[in-house]
Amino acid sequence: MTGARTNTLANLRGSIERIEAHAGATAPARVALGHADADATLQGGLAQAAVHEVFAAGRQSAAATGFIAGLAGRVAARRPLVWVRQDFTEIESGALSMAGLAELGLDPRRVVTVRAADVDAALRTAADALACDALGAVVLEVWGEARQFDLVASRKLTLAAQASGVTGLLLRVAAEPAPSAAETRWIVRAAHSPPAAASRPAASGNAWGAPVFDAQLVRNRHGPVGRWIMEWKCDECLFEKPATYPQPVAAAPAHRPHHASARAPERRAG
């Protein structure tokens, strides 16, 4: 009796070890964002073959879209990008404009958009697309709270991403963060354009307007969190610290995880 029990326990321990070894062994390739501090916190950059969530603060969908477009541009490099969105987002926050994407320095030729009617179709399409290893990244854009985005759905997306090596990016507007299997979670709001530098007189006039984000990393499965002001450099296609920024935002304590994950820091979601 006890022999059988120890045997079972040993078996279970063995399988847990195997699972953990598997999880640890997949040290994913990382793509540097360009922003030195953020890259340091992320241990080299954004993990590929994983799912990352970007939440728009309030209804600031455009800022979050710009941030996620930048992430997708970094991650996908020269491979195709599939952008799955729900019909409703187009009414609420406008359609993704290819002219605008081109202005950000990204290539509209590589974008395929899927106009899903509802969340279910969008989720399923995104899972399909994540399984296709010819892609660089898949963006799934959903407006509002969606009960379909539970742990199971998020775990499925993560598994598909791990299997194919494609990076999944989840754009949520008007939604509250919920537990998920995502690798990182960001909350993005728009930041002021930096004022014209003293060296450049105000007459030049167009120093402002570059996409500047106030990006808060609120969850990071494999490292600390933080908050940075990032500027997307349209010419170089990378994020950078804005050159002159008068009000530095106090960085969040580097080694304290987000309160949501503070409760169970080692918990593996999903």
Residue numbers 178-217 binding other proteins by CB under 8 A: 189-193, 205-206, 208-214
Residue nearer to other proteins on the CB measure, 62 or 159: 62
Instruction: Tell me the closest approach of the beta carbon of residue 95 to other proteins, in angstroms.
Output: 6
The label of the residue with tokens 């006890």 reads: 2
Strand partners, 86: 116
- Binds other proteins (CB under 8 A): choice among 63, 137, 139, 170: 63
- Binds other proteins (CB under 8 A): choice among 28, 40, 88, 90: 90
The reply on whether position 102 binds other proteins by CB under 8 A is yes
Q: How far is CA 12 from the centre of its chain?
A: 34
The label of the residue with tokens 């309160």 reads: 259
| Cβ–Cβ < 8 Å for 166, 75 | no
Q: At what angle do helices 119-130 and 151-164 cross, to 10 degrees?
A: 30
Closest CA to 55 of 168, 209, 251, 217: 217
Instruction: Tell me the closest approach of the beta carbon of residue 215 to other proteins, in angstroms.
Output: 12
- Pattern 143-182, binding to other proteins, x per CB under 8 A? ----------------------------------------
The reply on whether position 270 binds other proteins by CB under 8 A is no
Sign of the torsion formed by the C-alpha atoms of 247, 259, 50 and 111: negative
The reply on whether position 237 binds other proteins by CB under 8 A is no
Residue nearer to other proteins on the CB measure, 34 or 257: 34
Phi, psi of 102 (to 5 degrees): -65, -35
| Cβ–Cβ < 8 Å for 215, 242 | no
Give the separation between CA 130 and CA 161, rounded to whole angstroms: 5
Interface region with other proteins, contact rule CB under 8 A, candidates 1-9, 97-105, 174-182, 247-255: 97-105
Strand partners, 269: none
Binding interface with other proteins (CB under 8 A): 60-63, 65-67, 69, 79-80, 82, 90-91, 93-105, 107-117, 121, 124-125, 128-129, 132-135, 189-193, 205-206, 208-214, 232, 234-235
